Amino acid sequence: MLKILSIIGTIVVIILVIIGLILSNTTVETNSEEQKLVVKGDIIMPTKVSRPGCEEIDRCYIPSVIVIDSGKQVTWVNQDSAFHSVTSGFYGEPTELFDSGHMDPFESYTLTFDDVGTFDYFCTLHPWMKGQVIVE
């Protein structure tokens, strides 16, 4: 009888350890999924910029002007719930140097700037959204 009890006890302990391992693995996976959603960017498109007003406080792209060394990358992250774009030039006068296309919410777009100069960009969907990358 004692033997049977100790065998059952051992089995219960093994099952508990296995459940513990499964649960801890699940927690780790959940954490890494959450980290994937948080994409760090150099420039963000914050919420509510799909309506005019952000240009008055210079917060359509944050920051709206960024200065980098040539050869460096810039990453934009759309933190809004609407589509946005990063398109070279000005609204109505795109320069066709770069164009992210419509960026989904939380999508990011990375570009490498090799040439020195000032690169204006805008959002094709919201004419008031303007920014500048200055490459030195």
The distance of closest approach from Cβ of residue 39 to Cu ion in the complex, given in angstroms and rounded to an integer, is: 18
The distance of closest approach from Cβ of residue 58 to Cu ion in the complex, given in angstroms and rounded to an integer, is: 15
E strand map for 1-136: 43-45, 65-68, 72-78, 87-90, 93-99, 108-113, 117-122, 130-135
- How many residues touch Cu ion under the rule CB under 5 A: the total is 5
Length of the chain counted residue by residue: 136
* For Cu ion, the closer CB: 62 or 125: 125
The distance of closest approach from Cβ of residue 36 to Cu ion in the complex, given in angstroms and rounded to an integer, is: 24
Sheet containing strand 87-90, edge to edge, reads 65-68, 130-135, 117-122, 87-90, 93-99
Decide: 110 and 102 in contact? Cβ < 8 Å: no
Member of 103, 129, 133, 135 binding Cu ion (CB under 5 A): 129
State the binding string over 58-77 for Cu ion (x if CB under 5 A, else -): --------------------
Q: What is the identity of the amino acid at 122?
A: F
Member of 54, 79, 122, 126 binding Cu ion (CB under 5 A): 126
Member of 76, 84, 103, 133 binding Cu ion (CB under 5 A): 84
CA distance between the termini of the chain: 82
130 lies in the binding site for Cu ion (CB under 5 A): no
* For Cu ion, the closer CB: 111 or 125: 125
